[in-house]
Amino acid sequence: MKYLVGLLLWCHIMAAQAQPDPFPQAANAYLVKVDGASIWEHHPNDRLPPASLTKLMTALLVLEQGQLQEAASISLASTLETGSRIGLKAGERFRVQDLLAAAMLASSNDACHALADHLSGSEAGFVARMNRRANELGMRDTHFTNACGHDSPKHYSSAHDLARLAHELLKYPSLFEITSQKNLQIATLDGKKLYTLGNKNALIGRYDGALGLKTGYTPNAGKCLVAFAKRSGHEVLLVMLHGKDRWWDAVDILDLAFDHARAAP
């Protein structure tokens, strides 16, 4: 019986390996990498709205600057952000690392905007840095108009480009100390105000090996996800833009990708 189950699993994996796109209905665009090598993709170069997956570039610039223990003040402009927020108040001061946690876990637009203001003096200046870095990384199908992921005709990326961006973030294991948490609490530097952050990534704590990275949603972008997981010495990276049934499909794709990794010679 065990042999038969194994044979059926092997046949399923081989059938998937023969298809460059075994999940055509999962998302408008997706890309899967196993141990750094692309195995499946669907419209990977299409330019689509990335929603809060945009914050992956914000995170990269923060991590590359490296001043995570530095104090950052909440600007008035950041408190006027729309969409997902945690309710930061102008003048509050946080460690940069804590604002990064708010942006990555709770997808906090006010924290994200505050990081942009802190690093570049204004969101406009920061967005210029985002686009320069995207160009340096060869992200040819990406252009940013804001730091947080609001819909805009000229704000777009592709599954291929976001996978490349995620690959850069994998160089910073400290990021996974944040994105692998289901919940996290941050405090102002004076300790007077606490904020509780809930991770919007439903895979964390529910899918074995899930470590991050980022979710996103707007009505125009649909349900987006960059998922990263590690099991038994293998790594799987999944990028989904405008997913249909994001969490169930992500689990199916990740499971089959790990099966693929184990079956590889």
Q: Tokens 């038969």 sit at which residue?
A: 4
Tally Cβ neighbours within 10 Å of residue 159.
30
The single residue of 75, 78, 84, 107 carrying the catalytic annotation is 107
The single residue of 55, 84, 157, 158 carrying the catalytic annotation is 55
Catalytic: 52? yes
CA 185 vs CA 178, 181, 191: distances in Å? 11, 10, 12
- Rounded CA-CA distance 222/225 in Å is 10
Catalytic site positions: 52, 55, 107
